[in-house]
Amino acid sequence: MDKIKLDYQFLFVKFPIIFPLIYGFVLYQFPAFETELIIITILLLAETHFGATWPFMFNKKNSSYIKNNKIGLITIPIVIVALSLLGFFFINKFFLLIFFAANMFHVTRQSFGISKLYCKNQNENKFQENSIYFFSFIFFLIGFFRFFLPIINEEDILLTNIIIAIIFFSICFFYLLKYSFSENFLVFLTGCLIFYPMCFVSNPIHAIIMGVTMHYTQYLYLTYNVHKLRKNDDSDNNNKTFSDNLYNYFVIIFLYSIIMGGLSMFGKVDNDYLKQLIIVPILGQMLHFYLDSQLWKFSEKSNRDNTLFYLKKFIS
């Protein structure tokens, strides 16, 4: 059995289970503060994590990558914004389903990507990949049939959880039997359980936010450290962009969080016109889903040189 190293990387990336536990504790012990819990989580974790895409992308290290990939990093994002606007205003329910699916796929891709950073055994990593995608798909179906097409009702929740528990513990037992216990197993648990709240919460926003707090902390920790190492490694102190400065990194994600978090709150108002302003943070999230698929694509040499290179410096 490998020794567990309790450090910030373990707490924020490998096994950040403390965050959904805190969220769940506050939600069920202090239900009167449900709205405040949602707002605080959105401001501190959700929108800051979406905002971190922009200083991460427009870092000077990525300038040549953006210049050489204008279609993928400029044209396609514009198309995504246009299609999202059309979808939101003309086929709202279908668009929100696409948004929900894109959200889950994006989170699942990161979960597997993180497991791949730490697990060096190819067979073990393949088992992790298959299991993480399997549970993500199962939780997507549960979320769909609970909140979009409500076939699963409250009377079915207990049976649903029993079935999921049997499958989950069976897979965990096989994993431990074949690969033994290690930090890799805890990373694997994080990826598998991130959408488990679909099985028990009554409000769909909690199904997305509660477990995904782990995704948020993973992303913030990784992007911050890559950003910091890029800055420390940059011998050219001239021709810097605004986002290259570490202090400005925090300014950007803080302002983004305040603006987008505030606009998200308009989704709860009675005014039909103001309610439509929620499309702005949704657009930011849709761009985040797509841009991250390009910025963390390590089949691209530029991303290997300017992101993976720095990840390997602090991943342990």
| Amino acid (1-letter code) at residue 294 | Q
Residues whose CB falls within 8 Å of the CB of residue 133, separated by 6 or more in sequence, listed in order = 108, 112
- Residue located via tokens 């504790």: 25
Q: Is residue 34 very low, low, confident or very high in pLDDT (cuts 50, 70, 90)?
A: very high
pLDDT at 203: 93
DSSP 155-186: GGHHHHHHHHHHHHHHHHHHHHHHH-SSHHHH
Q: Tokens in use for 255?
A: 């302002």
Q: Tokens in use for 77?
A: 């994002």
pLDDT at 106: 97
Looking at every residue in the chain, the average pLDDT score rounds to: 92
SS3 track for 204-267: HHHHHHHHHHHHHHHHHHHHHHHHHHHHHHCCCCCCCCHHHCHHHHHHHHHHHHHHHHHHHHHH
pLDDT at 272: 76
Tell me the per-residue pLDDT of 128-173, one tens digit each, with 9 for 90 and over: 999 999 999 999 999 999 999 999 988 999 999 999 999 999 999 9
pLDDT at 15: 96
Q: Is residue 242 very low, low, confident or very high in pLDDT (cuts 50, 70, 90)?
A: low
Whole-Å CA distances, 68 to 29, 32, 62, 288 = 52, 52, 10, 20
- Residue located via tokens 């990161």: 110
Q: Tokens in use for 242?
A: 């605004």
pLDDT at 315: 87
Predicted confidence (pLDDT) at residue 65 exceeds the cutoff of 70: yes
The 3-state DSSP class for residue 190 equals helix
Predicted confidence (pLDDT) at residue 3 exceeds the cutoff of 80: no
What are the extents of the domains in the chain?
A: 8-314
Q: Which residue has the higher pLDDT, 192 or 153?
A: 192
Q: Is this model's pTM higher than 0.75 or not?
A: yes
Tell me the per-residue pLDDT of 104-126, one tens digit each, with 9 for 90 and over: 999 999 999 999 999 999 999 99
HSE at residue 115, side-chain half, CA atoms within 13 A, is 29
Predicted confidence (pLDDT) at residue 246 exceeds the cutoff of 70: no
User: Mean pLDDT throughout 65-76?
Assistant: 94
Tell me the per-residue pLDDT of 254-301, one tens digit each, with 9 for 90 and over: 999 999 999 988 877 777 778 899 999 999 999 999 999 999 999 999
Predicted confidence (pLDDT) at residue 1 exceeds the cutoff of 90: no
